[in-house]
A and B are shown apart, each in its own frame.
Chain A
Amino acid sequence: MSTLSIDHVSRWFGNVVAVNDITMTIGPGVTGLLGPNGAGKSTLINIMGGFLAPSTGTVTLDGQPVWRNEEIYRHIGIVPEREAMYDFLTGREFVVANAELHGLGDKAAQRALATVEMEYAQDRKIATYSKGMRQRVKMASALVHDPSLLLLDEPFNGMDPRQRMQLMDLLRKMGDEGRTVLFSSHILEEVEQLARHIEVVVAGRHAASGDFRKIRRLMTDRPHRYLVRSSDDRALAAALIADPSTAGIEVDQAEGALRVQAVDFGRFTALLPKVARDHGIRLLTVSPSDESLESVFSYLVAA
């Protein structure tokens, strides 16, 4: 059981602040590091993995510093985002080399290859692998020494749904075994499916932390905006505004549509079809107008 402690960590590159005074504790189980692209997730993971010095602050694993401490890698497994990985080797040669660098042998390598179900392609050159296969061999290389902390940078990028499911199952298993697993992602659904605990980073700042349900609620409880077209916009507007789940309605003459702001997401989505039916109004368009991840994140930051 390992705990990774990030204590008041900042990192800047010249004038650009990539990570801004972040403090978090990552314990056993699967944690998702969520944030839009460019939020500083990779920088943070590089700092956690000891590949980048924090400008200020410290990162420790069970009290041991990770920066400039090669011995720490006996406990850390790393799955980098970048693709490059000695393409001229076969999958098996690559994982064996990683095992040897840990002072382990073929047995550990073979076990890791079995864990990621890559034995069938282990004698092919890595250069011939698909993205998902590469990802699994990277996983195997990170698992050879049975680490207590696993860091994965955008592990699901470019994977097809089946590969994604497989990797999720594997990570879930690792978490259930008591390992500390941290993965980064910019896709909310990915994180939600896999992580019980979520850390949200936006624009280099630590925006939210906690149980995914809590964060999901934060995200769903924000005011939602919808664009609605119907057979009778004004009648629909009048009926909707009578319910407390609706905060405001604007009749957009140019668009020929209603702009509705809902406060209670769940209640509003149930209310809208019901109201329409009761008043004999046909709904032509219902589209959320601010579902982009950026708006979700910016709401979280403001909250």
Chain B
Amino acid sequence: MYDPTVARLTYRALLGRRRALILGALPLLLIVISVAVRGLTGADDQTAADVLGGFALATMVPIIGVIAGTGAIGPEIDDGSVVYLLSKPIKRPAIIFTKLIVAIAVTMVFSAAPTLIAGLILNGNGQQIAVAYTVAALVSSIAYSALFLLLGTVSRHAVVFGLVYALVWEALFGSLVAGARTLSVQQWSLAVAHKVAGGDLVTSDVGLTTATVLLVVVTVLATWYAGQKLRSLTLAGEE
């Protein structure tokens, strides 16, 4: 299923100069905030949980996910260069699967790794908070990548829709409407983080079983559907 050539092309496109800068900016901001918070208030578990939950998991991870997920395929479909992948004897779902793996890897590196570092800076992994949020970031990286890769396959405005989902749905509705929280990648990953951390500092509105099932279902469905979309992708000419 995994095609190393497709992966190489995707990595190079994703980590091109401009996109790498955008991908690097938010993690850098997180580290800077963490250093500042630690310097100003000292090590505090509640503060650490607030920063990691409020900024890292609620804002940074989904945005990195949008950039990596949609960027893994959207630009290629937009400018038509995807034709060089499609005109090969490679199953289209294999192309999607490979790009998903790349998007997950990039999202994890640019979101989970800085989350761990920020957590260590904030309170030195007191009460397992750094590890819990890192696990949440890893888990949500997978689901976000699959969702946003699908979005990049079906829409030319994937980045906009992705950001709207990530910021409006996950952040805004999630905090206002209780029902929306059940359908939120962030809450699902928090359920997993809650299991890791144990205490009351990391909480989720969703039970662990429900969260796990939903994470798996969403990832698998989105990937499958993206493969189907790519199979019937038509390349309209410039006419």
B4-22 interface code vs A (CB 8 A; 1 in, 0 out): 1110110011001000000
**Chain A residues proximal to chain B, CB less than 8 Å:** 18, 37-38, 40-43, 45-46, 49-53, 68, 70-74, 76, 78, 80-82, 84-86, 88-89, 97-98, 100-103, 141, 153
Number of A-B pairs whose CB atoms are under 8 Å? 90
Name the CB-closest residue of A to B5.
A100
**B235 contact set on A, CB distance < 8 A:** 46, 51-52, 80
**A76 contact set on B, CB distance < 8 A:** 87
The 9 A-B pairs at the shortest CB distance, nearest first, are namely A42-B237, A84-B79, A82-B80, A101-B88, A100-B5, A84-B81, A51-B235, A52-B234, A78-B87
Q: Say whether B44 faces chain A, with CB atoms less than 8 Å apart.
A: no
B16 & A88 in contact (Cβ 8 Å cutoff): yes
**A85 contact set on B, CB distance < 8 A:** 81, 84
B239 & A70 in contact (Cβ 8 Å cutoff): no
Choose from B81, B88, B89, B231 the contact partner of A68 (Cβ within 8 Å). Answer: B231
**B85 contact set on A, CB distance < 8 A:** 101
B6 & A101 in contact (Cβ 8 Å cutoff): yes
Minimum C-beta distance from A265 to chain B (A): 32
Q: Say whether B156 faces chain A, with CB atoms less than 8 Å apart.
A: no
Minimum C-beta distance from A208 to chain B (A): 21
Q: Say whether B35 faces chain A, with CB atoms less than 8 Å apart.
A: no
Q: Say whether B172 faces chain A, with CB atoms less than 8 Å apart.
A: no
Choose from A38, A53, A68 the contact partner of B239 (Cβ within 8 Å). Answer: A38
Given contacts A84-B79, A88-B13, could you give 12 more A-B pairs where the C-beta distance is less than 8 Å? A40-B239, A42-B237, A43-B239, A46-B234, A52-B236, A76-B87, A82-B80, A86-B81, A88-B12, A97-B9, A98-B84, A102-B89
Inter-chain CA distance A71–B87, complex, in Å, is 9
Choose from B3, B8, B83, B89 the contact partner of A51 (Cβ within 8 Å). Answer: B83
Chain B residues 63 to 84 lying within 8 A of chain A, measured CB to CB, are 79-81, 83-84
Name the CB-closest residue of B to A97.
B5
A82 & B79 in contact (Cβ 8 Å cutoff): yes
B5 & A81 in contact (Cβ 8 Å cutoff): no
Most chain A beta-carbon contacts within 10 A, residue among B8, B88, B232: B88
Minimum C-beta distance from A241 to chain B (A): 44
**B88 contact set on A, CB distance < 8 A:** 70, 73, 98, 101-102
**B232 contact set on A, CB distance < 8 A:** 53, 68
Q: Contacts A70-B89, A100-B5; is A86 near B238 (CB within 8 Å)?
A: no
Minimum C-beta distance from A126 to chain B (A): 10
Minimum C-beta distance from B66 to chain A (A): 21
A153 & B237 in contact (Cβ 8 Å cutoff): yes
Q: Say whether B86 faces chain A, with CB atoms less than 8 Å apart.
A: yes
Minimum C-beta distance from B71 to chain A (A): 13
Name the CB-closest residue of A to B234.
A52
**A102 contact set on B, CB distance < 8 A:** 88-89
**A89 contact set on B, CB distance < 8 A:** 9, 12
Inter-chain CA distance A51–B12, complex, in Å, is 25
Inter-chain CA distance A68–B231, complex, in Å, is 7
**A80 contact set on B, CB distance < 8 A:** 80, 83, 235
B237 & A81 in contact (Cβ 8 Å cutoff): yes
A97 & B8 in contact (Cβ 8 Å cutoff): yes
Inter-chain CA distance A40–B237, complex, in Å, is 10
Name the CB-closest residue of B to A85.
B81
Q: Say whether B164 faces chain A, with CB atoms less than 8 Å apart.
A: no
Chain B residues 137 to 192 lying within 8 A of chain A, measured CB to CB, are none
List 13 A-B residue pairs with CB atoms under 8 Å apart, sorted by A's residue number: A18-B239, A46-B237, A50-B87, A51-B234, A68-B232, A73-B87, A73-B89, A82-B79, A82-B80, A82-B81, A98-B88, A102-B88, A153-B237
